[in-house]
Structure 1
C-alpha cells in the first residue's frame, strides 16, 4: 500500500463543494466533460450519513493495458458523516484489482474551500503490486486536482 495525500483550494464555499460532491448531476456532468461513459450515480441517506455511490466502465491508458486490460469497472462510495468529512472508497476491477481508501475533508479557506484527501492506494498484482503502486500513486493527486478544477467551473 502507498500513502496518498492531496490538498488544494476551490474558490467556492464549502456548502457549494459538498452540494456538488453529493449531486448525481455533478458526477454526470464531470463524466461528460471528461469524455467518460455516463456513470450510474445515487445519493441516499443511510444511518445518519449521506452516501454517494457511483459506478462506470472506463478505458485504461495504453501504458497500463498489459496489467489491467482494455477497460476497468470503477465503483466509488463516499460516506459523508458530516458535510465537511467523508470516507471514500474507490474499487477498480480490471484484469487486476486496485483500490483507494481514505478521508475527504472540506474546510473553509481564504479563497473558498480547502479540499483535502488522505488515504492509501493498494494495487493487487502478484509480485508487481509495489511497482504498479509506485507508478499509479501519482495519478490520485492529479485526479483530485482535476476534480477541484471541475468543481470551480461547475454550474449548478
Structure 2
C-alpha cells in the first residue's frame, strides 16, 4: 500500500536553541492546540520528548468515515544538538482507533529568519480500497497543523522578544 509523502516547513525568527525550547514547552504546545480549535488536549513535555493527546472535530471530508471527533496522539523525540544548535528528531502521529499513522523526520537548523524546521515523512491510512482516498482527503488538515504551529510560534517568539527588550 502506497504512503502519501508529507513535507512542511517552519521558519522562525530566533536561534535554534530558542526555537527548540519553544517547541518543547508545554505552554507553547497547549497554545497550538487552542489555536487549532481542539476540543481538549493533554501535554507532557521535556527538552528530549513531548507527547500531546488532542481531541478535535473530524475534518468534514472524512467525517463520514471517522465520526464527529478524533483523538490524535503526537509523539516527538529530539536528538542532542550539534555544535551549531541544529537538531534532528522524529514525529510520530497516530489516530486513536484508526489505522492512520504519520512517520516524520524533523530537521531544526540555523537559516531563514533564524531557524528553519523541516518536516519530511509519510502518512498512511491502512484501509483496503479507501486508504489512498482517505489519505488525500486528510492530508490538508494534517499540513494545516504545521501552519498553525508557524503562526503560534511567530506570536510566541515576538512576545518573548518584546519582554526581553
Where has structure 1 moved over 6 Å in runs of 4 or more?
none
**More strand by proportion, 1 or 2?**
1
Out of 87, 92, 95, the position equivalent to 1:89 is 92
Distance 1:30 1:110 in 2: 22
> How many equivalent pairs are there?
151
Residues 1:112 and 1:32: Cα distance change in structure 2 (over 3 Å)? same
Give the distance between the partners of 2:64 and 2:7, measured in 1 at CA.
27
For 1:72-151, list aligned pairs within 5 A.
72-83=70-81, 84-94=87-97, 96-151=98-153
Q: Which has the higher helix share?
A: 2
Q: TM-score, normalised by structure 1?
A: 0.86
The equivalent residue for 2:42 is: 40
TM-score with structure 2 length normalisation? Answer: 0.82
* Cα shift readout 1:47-69 (whole Å, capped 9, x = no counterpart): xxx11111121111222111111
Instruction: Name the SS of the counterpart of 1:86 in structure 2.
Output: strand
In structure 2, distance between residues paired with 1:38 and 1:135:
23
Matches of 1:31 and 1:140, distance apart in 2: 13
Instruction: Deviation per CA, 1:74-117: give whole Å up to 9, x if none.
Output: 111101012421111011125x4311111111111141111100
